[in-house]
A and B are shown apart, each in its own frame.
Chain A
Amino acid sequence: MDDQSARQCVKAVRWIGGSAVVDVQGDVDLSRSSEFQQSLLVVMDQKPKRIVVNLAEVPYMDSSGVASLVKLLRRARRQEVVLRLAALTDRVRSIFEITRLDGVFDIHPTVEEALA
């Protein structure tokens, strides 16, 4: 295992007003997607109005990571929480495009725009 797997998937959770900005770091793949999902569920349990998932430091996300976000989006809609993705790297953006999930998620170029 590389150093990345030892690091926390969620680097920080910043609260700005009623919004939670979740800064994610490193690849989100089979070895970390479960932890990723659990961390985001913890944030959702704190009942924010909006969650912005900052993916600026995520070079790669595999299908299990994408599926974790889909599950989170399902729950967010049930709980009437706004979920936005921000600052996707080119490769991660391509994954959302090729799977046509860019039309399912609310995706923004920057965290600031996602908070606007």
Chain B
Amino acid sequence: MSPTSEDNPSREPPVVRVIDLVKRFSGRAVLDGVNLEVLPGETMVVMGPSGCGKSTLLRHMIGSMWPDAGRVDLFGRDLGEMSEAELDQARKRFGILFQSGALFNSMTVGENVALPLREHTNLDSDTIDIIVRIKLELVGLREALDRMPAEISGGMKKRAGLARAIALDPEILFYDEPSAGLDPVTSAEIDHLIMDLSHKLGVTSVVVTHEMDSAFRIADRMAMLDCGRMLKVASRQEFEDIRDGQVGKSPASDLIRQFLRGESEGPITARRLSSGYAEDILSVGGGEPTRSESNDA
């Protein structure tokens, strides 16, 4: 599906633009002509079944993976056309929260948050120390300043990772499964942080997730990937309407509805069940038993 002007009533230029993106692994298309626009200040949730290409799409958007065809524009520039120096400049303008928090275990939480400030600015250590405390307060983790990552919980690691991701006041934040593995309260706290950063500071957010409660809480718009193709990009309201609507409007809606409702029966599971299992298992070894291999002697 290609983005249309209807998706962008304000007509502000998108900060991220994915155009006809194709990525193949071992000849198999993991992303097959994907299009997506992310507008300034919005929270775009990218969802889809496991293995549908969500994380691969995210990696292309942050310039850590390169397309076989198509392109990704960030801040109006083709990432593939940027020099290494330009790419470094662009990277200062976005932050990434990885699934695990991706903290350096040999550094304290505070040192982890200070790292991008030390690497990318000339600020003195006193100023950096103040900024670190501000960021940790923002994620509710100031008390963990001097603790090592091994001494804090998974949820705290994720919040520390978020503090580090926002250390340089990024214009865009990319989140890879921010709620995965968190208890419901911590998950809701992370969601509120994402919303605060978006609504109060105007930060653009791209969130890859398959946690539906979280997705519907934070999204302005949503994108549904399936088998490497973009099935639908629409407002949260439209996805809510599909989730709550009747079965049978269209095959795509039925598939999206099953995913959003987390139902065990529907087109997604039917597809798995009918995906050549018989041919697959009957071809194991390639041959048929000979009389000497059989047990009927």
Contacts and interface: CB of A to CB of B under 8 A. Distances in A.
B200 A97 contact: yes
Q: How large is the interface on B (under 10, 10 to 19, 20 to 34, 35 or more residues)?
A: 10 to 19
B138 A98 contact: yes
> Chain A at the B interface: mostly helix, strand, loop or mixed?
helix
B137 A64 contact: no
A91 B197 CA distance: 12
B121 A67 contact: no
Contact of B134 (A30, A71, A91, A101): A101
A70 interface: yes
B200 A64 contact: no
A67 B200 contact: no
B273 to A, nearest CB: 48
> Chain B at the A interface: mostly helix, strand, loop or mixed?
helix
Interface in B8-27: none
A53 to B, nearest CB: 17
A94 B169 CA distance: 14
A98 B200 contact: yes
B244 interface: no
Interface string A52-95: 00000000001110111011000000000000000000010011
Interface string B124-157: 0011001100110110000000000000000000
B126 A99 contact: no
Contacts of A68: 127
A54 to B, nearest CB: 22
B165 to A, nearest CB: 13
B130 A99 contact: no
Interface string B225-253: 00000000000000000000000000000
19 contacts: A30-B123, A62-B169, A63-B131, A63-B167, A63-B169, A64-B121, A64-B131, A66-B131, A66-B134, A67-B123, A67-B130, A67-B131, A70-B134, A94-B200, A95-B201, A97-B200, A98-B201, A99-B137, A100-B138
Interface of A: 29-30, 33, 62-64, 66-68, 70-71, 91, 94-95, 97-101
Interface of B: 121, 123, 126-127, 130-131, 134-135, 137-138, 167, 169, 196-197, 200-202
